[in-house]
Amino acid sequence: MNRCDSCGLVFATPLWTSAEADTVFANYRGWPEGISGGVSDRSAGMAQIARQIHIHWRDQATSTPGLLDIGCADGEFFRVMAATQDGFQFSGVEPDPKWQHHDYGNARVYPVTLRQCQFPDAHFDVVTILDAFCYFPDPKAHVEEIMRILKPGGLFVFDIPGQHYLRLRGLVGSWFRLGRTQTFAAYPYYYAHPSVLALLAGTPHQIKAIVVDRGTVQDHPWLKAGLQGYTGIIKRGADQFASLREFAPKLIYLIRKV
Ligand SMILES: [Zn+2]
């Protein structure tokens, strides 16, 4: 892995190219099927994101707002959103054929990549990428495409793991000889805050909120409680010192198109 000295981006080399992207997603098998379906701990994280969308969306007066979830897998986020607020019309992008047998209910899911969808300008009110942004090849082009298909005033919501948190987890993992000792191994990109700013630069945007979250945890009560407490401390600290945010398990960015 390499790290950019000026923006803190950690990235795998060789970089995934745009041309490779479609193949990578079509063949992506990194997310075990067992994690989906029914109620998982992912639903708790998604409920937090749904709440944040509600907070930052409620001043909008659109009657049937359109929400696009990129990498929607089995459509869990549609169910979580529908349970917390009415009126949204759901669309999804899911190029991974593993999920394409799912019944998405009223949501319209496109079994191709975002680029291939060729949505019109200013088409969606909310665009989300959950637990997937770090996989996106050519992230600058993707962010520009998302800002293009968002309506002015619309929200772009995505989450990333905190870099310092991953370092800490890798360190603790190696002390206790746990499984996750490879700090930066799963994704092609690990974003630090300045690298997120670099991606957004040049697009008409305003950062509405950066929310510290505990992320998805394995189903151990003490692990969940421990991480909850840890995240609470980071959350309070980050209100004073923004740089502490990088210690958060998960950061949720809410970006408004202006
Ligand atoms: Zn950089």
Which residue did the predictor score with more confidence, 160 or 173? 160
* Ligand 1 (single-atom ion) residues, CB below 5 Å: 4, 6-7, 9
Residue 12 alpha carbon to ligand 1 centre in Å: 13
Residue 162 alpha carbon to ligand 1 centre in Å: 16
Residue 110 alpha carbon to ligand 1 centre in Å: 32
Residue 35 alpha carbon to ligand 1 centre in Å: 33
Per-residue three-class SS string for 136-197: CCCHHHHHHHHHHHEEEEEEEEEEECCHHHHHHHHHHHHHCCCCCCCCCCCCCEECCHHHHH
**Stretch 139-166: mean pLDDT:** 94
Of 159-163, 166-170, 175-179, 230-234, the one with minimum mean pLDDT is: 175-179
Residue 105 alpha carbon to ligand 1 centre in Å: 41
Residue 156 alpha carbon to ligand 1 centre in Å: 22
Domains of the chain: 2-257 (3.40.50.150)
Residue 7 alpha carbon to ligand 1 centre in Å: 4
The pLDDT tens digits for 200-245 are 999 999 999 999 998 877 667 888 888 889 999 999 999 889 889 9
Residue 237 alpha carbon to ligand 1 centre in Å: 26
The pLDDT tens digits for 35-91 are 443 445 778 889 999 999 988 876 566 778 999 999 999 999 999 999 988 889 999
The band of 147, judged by pLDDT with boundaries at 50, 70 and 90, is: very high
Residue 138 alpha carbon to ligand 1 centre in Å: 14
Residue 195 alpha carbon to ligand 1 centre in Å: 6
Residue 253 alpha carbon to ligand 1 centre in Å: 19
Residue 248 alpha carbon to ligand 1 centre in Å: 21
Q: At what angle do helices 41-57 and 76-84 cross, to 10 degrees?
A: 50
Distance CA 21, CA 112 (A): 11
Residue given tokens 């398990």 in the structure block: 249
pTM of the model: 0.88
Residue 190 alpha carbon to ligand 1 centre in Å: 11
HSE value, Cβ hemisphere, 13 Å, CA-based, for 190: 24
Residue 255 alpha carbon to ligand 1 centre in Å: 20
Distance CA 177, CA 9 (A): 27
Alpha-carbon Rg for the chain, nearest whole angstrom, is: 18
H/E stretch holding 258: none
Q: State how far Cα 225 lies from the chain centre.
A: 23
Residue 199 alpha carbon to ligand 1 centre in Å: 9
